[in-house]
């Protein structure tokens, strides 16, 4: 029996997936294990794999198979897979091989240098590399926008968040701006009178690591299919069959690394529960970066910072670090629900967190659309931090515009995913609570079975079968509705 066009495509995409597997593990190693002198060679090897994948995906025959497969007799899931294949093909075919290679090399170089430039507050050194990344990202955005219509920034946003536009983001973020500053003020006023006891360290790294592993076990992480390591910036990488998560430790601060691990475990559980029978095909990939972030924020914020979960985790903390006044239940819960505007996005509480995202979104959109240049970033960053959070980052690049890894490799368009993810997470948790009336009691007993089954049935097992809008509507009964995020913040903090 001769192969159908669709079967030819599934074989091609399975092959691409194996290259992605190697690339993902080599990237994880670059961030977590690789000695510094290996950087240039690793960057070249990753660029080579990227070019090879680009050649396979943009082959003329793939385009012909995609057109011909439209006429074949496919079931619903195969149709969805074909739709995703077409999306990946159309995104790749717009870019010349030389740009794919140049962007990969510039990104590796910029990220590697950032690791030492950030601690040294070396904006001048960093910005020299960033300019090259921005130049190539603008070129990519131009090519994509010309083919797709819409703005250059929207063309990059679409890679991470299909069907999302900056016009829609502007509406969502304008709503946020109308109530978040006053909520932030009310919550900080309310909390100002509470005199809390800070946990006193040192908290040895090895013991912190053990506590992180305790939390991962509690949250159902599959250690036969993943591991925890250390990197300069926490992330979740690898592949569904072998998920690599990382955190970073500070011996004077206990909860930053712990909740970093809880956050990345949310990403990991999603990856580990993607549809196994379709792995290697585009339909088995996570739906989008905002849905991915909704899972990590569901774990870290909706679940992780809830009183029920904090109570469940307390005995583990005391058994690892001994008892101290800061770990008295009421103080410990209040400490982990503090709202305190700060410089660092990954350490931000959930009320001030959206401010960090809107600020980055507005800057990166202006940068890609050509309204500002790299030199303008520090002053704009400072101005927006002052307006949102009353903090100055003048001259403080390491805790200002150099703190994130996303721009180093040209990830422009990713940042909005975090706040979209927070909105989706609140909506999903609301729907889960409606479906599971004993949820809070279950959580305080450490019984997450029903909750994870609900996530598996409604989000995890579907991969990219449905559009984001259909996925959320099927799970919650309506498309994205930011009012659940506001309700959640008001209920928890006011």
Binding residues for Zn(2+): 263, 267, 293
Phi, psi of 253 (to 5 degrees): -135, 120
SS (H, E, C) 12-23: HHHHHHHHHHHH
Q: How far apart are CA 310 and CA 337, in angstroms?
A: 10
Which among 89, 7, 102 is positioned nearest to 56, based on CA atoms?
89
Bridge partners for 343 per DSSP: none
User: In the sheet where 226-230 sits, what is the strand order?
Assistant: 226-230, 242-247, 236-239
SS (H, E, C) 293-309: HHHHHHHHHHHCCCHHH
Cα angle 64, 285, 481; round to 5? 115
Q: How far apart are CA 265 and CA 141, in angstroms?
A: 32
Lookup: tokens for 298: 């569901």
Binding residues: 263, 267, 293
| CA count, 13 A, side-chain hemisphere, 176 | 25
Q: Which residues are CB-neighbours of 29 under 8 A, at least 6 positions away?
A: 42
Q: What is the dihedral of CA 404, 408, 413, 416, to 10 degrees?
A: 0
Q: Report CA torsion sign: 54, 60, 63, 68.
A: negative
Q: How far apart are CA 400 and CA 345, in angstroms?
A: 9
Query: Within 10 A of 434 (CB to CB), how many other CB atoms are there?
Result: 11
8 A C-beta contact, residue 385 and residue 377: no
Which among 206, 241, 246, 211 is positioned nearest to 230, based on CA atoms?
246
Catalytic residues: 264
Q: Report CA torsion sign: 271, 277, 279, 281.
A: negative
Report H helices in 58-75: 60-69
């Amino acid at each position: 029996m001769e192969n159908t066009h669709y079967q030819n495509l599934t074989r091609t995409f399975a092959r691409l997936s194996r290259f992605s597997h190697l690339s993902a593990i080599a990237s994880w190693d670059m961030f977590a294990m690789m000695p510094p002198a290996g950087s240039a060679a690793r960057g070249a090897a990753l660029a080579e794999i990227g070019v090879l994948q680009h050649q396979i995906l943009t082959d003329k025959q793939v385009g012909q198979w995609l057109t011909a497969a439209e006429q074949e007799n496919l079931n619903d899931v195969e149709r969805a897979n074909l739709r995703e294949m077409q999306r990946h093909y159309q995104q790749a075919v717009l870019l010349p091989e030389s740009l794919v290679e140049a962007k990969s090399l510039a990104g590796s170089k910029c990220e590697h240098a950032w690791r030492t430039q950030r601690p040294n507050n070396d904006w001048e050194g960093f910005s020299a590399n960033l300019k090259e990344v921005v130049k190539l990202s603008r070129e990519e955005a131009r090519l994509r926008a010309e083919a797709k219509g819409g703005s250059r920034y929207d063309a990059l946003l679409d890679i991470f968040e299909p069907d999302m536009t900056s016009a829609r983001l502007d509406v969502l973020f304008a709503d946020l701006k109308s109530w978040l500053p006053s909520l932030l003020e009310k919550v900080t006023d309310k909390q100002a009178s509470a005199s809390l006891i800070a946990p006193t360290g040192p908290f040895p790294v090895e013991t912190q690591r053990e506590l992180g592993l305790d939390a991962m076990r509690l949250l159902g992480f599959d250690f036969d299919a993943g591991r925890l390591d250390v990197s300069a910036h926490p992330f979740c990488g690898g592949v569904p069959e072998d998920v690599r998560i990382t955190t970073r430790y500070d011996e004077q601060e206990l909860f930053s690394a712990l909740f970093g691990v809880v956050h990345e475990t949310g990403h990991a559980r999603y990856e580990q529960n993607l549809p196994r029978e379709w792995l290697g095909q585009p339909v088995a990939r996570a739906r989008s970066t905002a849905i991915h972030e909704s899972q990590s924020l569901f774990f870290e914020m909706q679940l992780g910072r809830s009183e029920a979960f904090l109570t469940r985790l307390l005995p583990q903390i005391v058994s690892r670090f001994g008892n101290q006044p800061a770990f008295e239940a009421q103080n410990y819960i209040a400490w982990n629900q503090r709202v305190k505007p700060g410089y660092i996005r990954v350490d931000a509480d959930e009320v001030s967190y959206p401010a960090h995202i809107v600020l980055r979104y507005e800057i990166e959109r202006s940068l890609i659309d050509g309204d500002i240049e790299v030199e303008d970033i520090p002053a704009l960053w400072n101005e927006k931090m002052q307006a949102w959070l009353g903090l100055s980052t003048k001259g403080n690049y390491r805790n200002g515009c150099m703190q994130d890894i996303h721009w180093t490799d040209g990830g422009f368009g990713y940042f909005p995913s975090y706040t979209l993810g927070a909105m989706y997470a609140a909506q999903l948790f609301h729907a889960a609570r409606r479906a599971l009336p004993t949820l809070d009691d279950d959580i305080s007993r450490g019984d997450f079975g029903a909750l994870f089954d609900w996530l598996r049935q409604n989000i995890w097992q579907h991969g990219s079968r449905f559009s984001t809008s259909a996925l959320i509507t099927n799970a919650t009964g309506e498309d994205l509705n930011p009012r659940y995020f506001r309700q959640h913040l008001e209920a928890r903090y006011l």
